[in-house]
Structure 1
């Protein structure tokens, strides 16, 4: 498991503990806390080499127990994290002007910024935004289909 990409956050997280002595629940706790300390409203847990559902459940449980304003989304082989920034409403306006609405279902909207190859998943009632990069139209269609098949309710983590 690691933070997304080769970011400074990833290096900081990896430096916080010797990996061989860290159990999975402590690793999840460390990743989420490091995300909270970062300046970013978005994060991802990737490179998961164990049961994805187990890791996702640990993340959700930790977020709930600590009563954090973070939303976790399990998507394919990664867990995306989002927190609401003070500029969400302005960001949403920009997304609407630069992107095309692909899906509006239940409490979500998916906007496509084709120029930058980014899908913007917006969970409207809780003001959460997940930017999801894609490589080509096939991957974009697969991501949209996967998200549209998910069940979305106000009680989702």
Structure 2
């Protein structure tokens, strides 16, 4: 969820103080000159995070919600179904550095996205160390427009 000007201390007081959530980590990445994503990830169970808050450029208050499946093949099947149905992707297949989720993002008609993924990290509270990371993605999760541009420049594509 995007905090849209609400101070981090304000929502942490509620989630940590009242509900007992714990901080998993923080990611701060400059997406473009002057555009910074500053996100904090919170958990209430062993799953790396149940909710994340922060500031980043996005027109909606909710960037996405996530559906995690138990089989990696379900991610591939859903990805193909979304492509075949012409659904608008926000990000292609990729992985996050903090929760190790293998996923893709598809936009809803309302303008926020659904992340569909597999393999999320489980946290051991006794050994977990909160970190600040500098990137949202380990690999992939590219906007489809960027992938189309890269594919259009592929050497030898006109040789066919």
Q: TM-score with structure 2 length normalisation? A: 0.31
Structure with bigger RCO (C-alpha 8 Å, 6+ apart): 2
Q: TM-score with structure 1 length normalisation? A: 0.31
Greater share of helix residues, 1 or 2?
Answer: 1
Greater share of strand residues, 1 or 2?
Answer: 2
Larger-gyration structure (1/2) = 2
